[in-house]
Amino acid sequence: MKHNHERRKFIQQSISAGIAIGATTFIPEVLKGHEIQTTPFTQTPLSYGFNALEPHIDALTMEIHYTKHAAAYTKNLNDAAIAEFKGANISIEDALKNISLYSAKLRNNGGGHFNHEFFWKSMMPNAPQLQEGKLKDAIISTFNSLENFKAKLSDAAMTRFGSGWAWLYIDDKKLLQIGSTPNQDNPLMDVSSIKGIPLLGLDVWEHAYYLKYQNRRAEYVNNWFNLINWKQVEERMTNSR
Spacing of C-alpha 103 from chain mean position:
18
**Contact, 201 vs 111, CB < 8 A?**
no
> 59 vs 88, which CB is nearer to Mn ion?
59
**Contact, 120 vs 44, CB < 8 A?**
yes
**Contact, 177 vs 170, CB < 8 A?**
yes
Q: How many residues comprise the chain? A: 241
Which residues are 170's β-sheet partners? Answer: 176, 197
Minimum CB separation of residue 116 from Mn ion in Å reads 6
- Angle CA(142)–CA(145)–CA(151) in degrees, nearest 5? 95
> 178 vs 208, which CB is nearer to Mn ion?
208
Nearest position to Mn ion, beta carbon = 203
**What's the number of CA atoms in the CB half-sphere (13 Å) around residue 54?**
10
> 194 vs 202, which CB is nearer to Mn ion?
202
> 117 vs 203, which CB is nearer to Mn ion?
203
For residue 41, which of 80, 9, 68, 14 has the smallest C-alpha distance?
Answer: 80
Minimum CB separation of residue 207 from Mn ion in Å reads 5
Minimum CB separation of residue 67 from Mn ion in Å reads 12
Spacing of C-alpha 115 from chain mean position:
2
For residue 31, which of 18, 15, 45 has the smallest C-alpha distance?
Answer: 15
Instruction: Report the distance separating Cα 224 and Cα 2, nearest Å.
Output: 46
Residues lying near Mn ion in the complex (CB under 5 A): 203, 205, 208
Instruction: Report the distance separating Cα 85 and Cα 91, nearest Å.
Output: 10
> 38 vs 78, which CB is nearer to Mn ion?
78
Rounded to 10 degrees, the C-alpha dihedral 107/109/110/116 comes to 130
Minimum CB separation of residue 208 from Mn ion in Å reads 5
> 143 vs 220, which CB is nearer to Mn ion?
220
> 203 vs 234, which CB is nearer to Mn ion?
203
Minimum CB separation of residue 202 from Mn ion in Å reads 10
Minimum CB separation of residue 165 from Mn ion in Å reads 9
Minimum CB separation of residue 100 from Mn ion in Å reads 23
